[in-house]
Amino acid sequence: MSMLNVVARIDKDDNFSVDSQDMHYNLYDNNIFTYTFWNEDYCDFQRFFSKSGLDLFYISLIVYGLDRIIPRDKADDCWSRDIKVYLPVFNIKIWSENKNLLQELLNFLSGDTWEFEFRERNNFTESELKVKNKMESSKTKINDTSKICMFSGGLDSFIGAIDLIEQTGTSDIKFVSHYGGGKGVIEYQKALTTSIINEYNLSQDNFKSFYASAKNGVEDTTRTRSFMFFAHAIVLATTMNKKIKLIIPENGLISLNIPLTNSRLGSSSTRTTHPYYILLLERLIINLNIDIEIENPYQFKTKGEMILESRNIEFLKSNIGNTMSCSHPDQGRMSGDKVTSHCGYCLPCVIRRASILKAKITDTSRYRDIDFTSGPTAKTSLLSYKIGVQKFNEKLSFLKIQNSGPVTSNIEDFIGVYNRGMNELANLLGEYNESILS
């Protein structure tokens, strides 16, 4: 597949086109992309979103939408796509200066080749103006948020929420969630939100949940989802008159995104918090003059250690079954299941199960397959994991941690969390003998 030229538009009055365009992508068309950001109430926020923040937000939606609708199997190598996007931005100078950085960030995150051509945008959209006018006329400016915590509904994010509240209190935190087309994630997010509100006397105002979904999305790898997810939080942060800490809770093993084998089994797993991706994102945010500090408090913790060190272990144990770690939580519904559950055999599920085993607590989660016996995919997954664990050698860990991208600082800490995480996996996988693979 040659370079795909895409003209992106965010406003129905935008008639821009190029002779070489292969397709257009109109964010304002609900038949193409649906999102709820402009349906929210922001009256308690201190000011309207910055133009650079809005630019980043729309770029993230466009990239995520294209990631979903352009199939990888049409690429020359059935994986890496070449995509050139023509899109409008307010600050064309600052984006032209940071074009290479943005492209490097997305190329690393998605495994594709991205190119951008920016054009100047002068006016707010109708939706933006409506919210802007409402915010500026509001007398309610009580928002004292200083921390935004990503809240996916997963086990790591739930532990992160608990620890953050226990450590700092509740008054200045916003939890930001995203959900897409399936019902699986939102069910878990709502259950955890209700539990946290009841446990810590929070209000719904502490939580912002955003829907964003590409229509007719055929590509399931969705590696750019984290960029879009984080952009929601980043644009929110631009409404504050102070530095905001953006907290992204994720265990160190999954953060490193190290493939267990040379196969492509784990290739769809994202580089959501890989140190190199976060480094590039921090550089971009600084260059956009957005005052945010990114922190992953669990960068050097395994998932099992996160559970064991939770600041409210009893609350965690009573809600662990309401957290969702699976890569494809809606897969069971497609097979006729009435309730959403973990598949049990994808890498995030296996790391989850290993961590709960490490913590020696009761696992009340629903799994469709904990024995790797549901079909060829489960069996192949187990084989891949077993090979990866068998080949694991602590003497080579300093090389292994570089497999998914450059790690240039805290080398010993990353080696340590990788080794301990692999040992957690080995303890779980040791329960499965070779008869399952035959």
pTM value?
A: 0.95
- Tokens 């200083």 correspond to 146
156 and 133 share one domain: no
E strands in 135-261? 147-150, 173-179, 207-214, 244-247
404 and 255 share one domain: yes
Positions in the chain whose pLDDT score sits under 70? 1, 141, 182-183, 261-269, 332-335, 433-438
238 and 270 share one domain: yes
Percentage of the chain beyond pLDDT 90 is 84
Task: Determine the pLDDT at residue 266.
Answer: 44
246 and 205 share one domain: yes
123 and 245 share one domain: no
319 and 372 share one domain: yes
- Tokens 């959900």 correspond to 179
- Rounded CA-CA distance 321/7 in Å is 44
Expressed as residue numbers, the domain containing 286 is 147-437
Task: Determine the pLDDT at residue 400.
Answer: 95
123 and 24 share one domain: yes
Number of compact structural domains in the chain = 2
Report the length, in residues, of the chain.
438
Task: Determine the pLDDT at residue 139.
Answer: 77
355 and 431 share one domain: yes
8 and 51 share one domain: yes
Question: Does a structural domain hold residue 142?
Answer: no
Task: Determine the pLDDT at residue 331.
Answer: 75
Among 203, 145, 176, 196, residue whose Cα is nearest residue 312: 196
Among 63, 79, 52, 51, residue whose Cα is nearest residue 116: 63
Task: Determine the pLDDT at residue 333.
Answer: 62
342 and 193 share one domain: yes
Task: Determine the pLDDT at residue 256.
Answer: 96
129 and 210 share one domain: no
Which CATH number belongs to the domain containing residue 175 in this structure? 3.40.50.620
Amino acid found at 216: N
